[in-house]
């Protein structure tokens, strides 16, 4: 049986070009980038090159890139490095890495969103307090693909003299990024066909941030520990691919996503797109199926060879329904009837058509097993 992957928001496979870029760093260029001998300097050169590639994707300078072990560490460094002793403002639909870090601050406010999953910038403005140190609003949502008005929110932060962070883990490679006006921005390699365990935090020059790990003076003193040069190089190469081919791939995936969405809506009654009407990333759709349990549908589709998701991968195994879907006003039952489809480079029109057929058949079968559905 053929297997097809429609869960690219959870993770992506390492691409050929990334693997080729990383291999020499695992075998030949093995020096510690802090060593001053030939081997160390060869590694330093590769690290500097990777930093420039990541900076080019974000439109920043290389000195503003801090390499981390991934998105979660970068989010924690941003929130706790700025607001641990103060008040942080965030939204109800953030990734757990942001929500859990914000909960460690002296105080936090999680602003609600509308029925599409979009936050109102005026609500952010109203949440400001004299002790507010940081506003953190994600660029794109991992479950809905909904894009937030981060430039507008960054202006509010600037006027208030408050630092602004955006979690861009699900935006990189899926929508254009412009960090002008943003103080801190998070990315993760494994969401853009790079390796797991590598990420970066953009820190605007002049932003006062307290390191959260202690030891050596690596990464401009913001992140102690010997650099994962191979991981950084993988992230850099993945970023270069986004610069060179990203726009074209986004257009291709958007067409496939629309084909999938329309095909399902046309053929399955009681199907609804969560986040419809909001600007969304090109590759993501989250669809609710009345009277169908999402886990049962996920298993049915997996048995037919299609990998999809019923929420954020970091929440798998959780018995509670998605906090994102509850935040947009769905009931627990509706939230438990929703499936996320996230497309990527390997997906084709033929695979999409096959997935539509599998969804149509699986939903019909599951509804037959639960005749209470009307």
Longest distance between any two alpha carbons in the chain, whole Å: 73
Task: Exactly one of 314, 326, 354, 360 is catalytic; name it.
Answer: 314
SS3 342: strand
Distance of alpha carbon 235 from alpha carbon 58, whole angstroms: 13
99: number of Cβ within 10 Å: 19
Angle between helices 294-303 and 349-369 (to 10 degrees): 130
DSSP E strands in 51-177: the ranges are 65-68, 87-91, 107-111, 132-136, 163-167
Is 314 catalytic? The answer is: yes
Residues 145 and 169: beta-carbon distance below 8 Å: no
Distance CA 111, CA 84 (A): 19
Q: How far apart are the first and last CA of the chain?
A: 34
**Do 145 and 309 contact (CB within 8 A), yes or no?**
no
Task: Strand 338-342: give its sheet, edge to edge.
Answer: 271-274, 284-289, 338-342
CA 3 to each of CA 184, 306, 354, 355: distance values in angstroms, whole numbers, following the listed order: 38, 6, 11, 11
Active-site amino acid positions: 314
């Amino acid at each position: 049986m053929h297997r097809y992957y429609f869960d690219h928001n959870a993770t992506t496979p390492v691409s050929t070009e990334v693997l080729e870029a990383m291999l020499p760093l695992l075998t030949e260029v093995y020096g510690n980038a802090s060593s001053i001998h030939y081997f160390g300097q060869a590694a330093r050169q590769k690290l500097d090159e990777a930093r420039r590639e990541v900076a080019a994707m974000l439109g920043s300078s290389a000195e503003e890139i801090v390499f981390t072990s991934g998105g979660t560490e970068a989010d924690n460094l941003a929130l706790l490095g700025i607001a641990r002793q103060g008040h942080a403002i965030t939204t109800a639909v953030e990734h757990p890495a942001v929500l859990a870090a914000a909960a460690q601050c002296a105080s936090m406010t999680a602003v609600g969103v509308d029925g599409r999953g979009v936050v109102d910038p005026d609500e952010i403005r109203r949440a400001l307090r004299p002790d507010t140190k940081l506003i953190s609003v994600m660029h794109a949502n991992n479950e809905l693909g909904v894009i937030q008005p981060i430039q507008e929110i960054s202006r509010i932060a600037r006027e208030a003299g408050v630092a602004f962070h955006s979690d861009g883990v699900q935006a990189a490679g899926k929508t254009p990024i412009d960090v002008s006006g943003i103080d801190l921005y998070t990315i993760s390699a494994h969401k853009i066909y790079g390796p797991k365990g590598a990420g970066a935090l953009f820190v605007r020059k002049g932003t006062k941030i307290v390191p959260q790990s202690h030891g050596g003076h690596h990464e401009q003193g913001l992140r102690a520990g010997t650099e994962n040069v191979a991981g950084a190089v993988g992230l850099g190469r993945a970023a270069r691919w986004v610069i060179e081919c990203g726009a074209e791939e986004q257009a291709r995936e958007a067409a496939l996503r629309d084909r999938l969405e329309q095909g399902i809506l046309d053929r399955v009654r009681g199907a609804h797109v969560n986040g419809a009407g909001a600007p969304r990333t090109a590759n993501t759709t989250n669809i609710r199926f009345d009277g169908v349990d999402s886990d049962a549908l996920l298993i049915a589709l997996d048995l037919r060879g299609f990998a999809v998701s019923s929420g954020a991968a970091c929440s798998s195994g959780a018995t509670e329904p998605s906090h994102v879907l509850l935040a947009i006003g769905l009931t627990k039952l509706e939230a438990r009837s929703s499936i996320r489809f996230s497309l990527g480079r390997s997906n084709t029109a033929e695979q999409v058509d096959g997935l539509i057929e599998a969804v149509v058949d699986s939903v019909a079968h599951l509804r037959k097993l639960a005749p209470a559905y009307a």
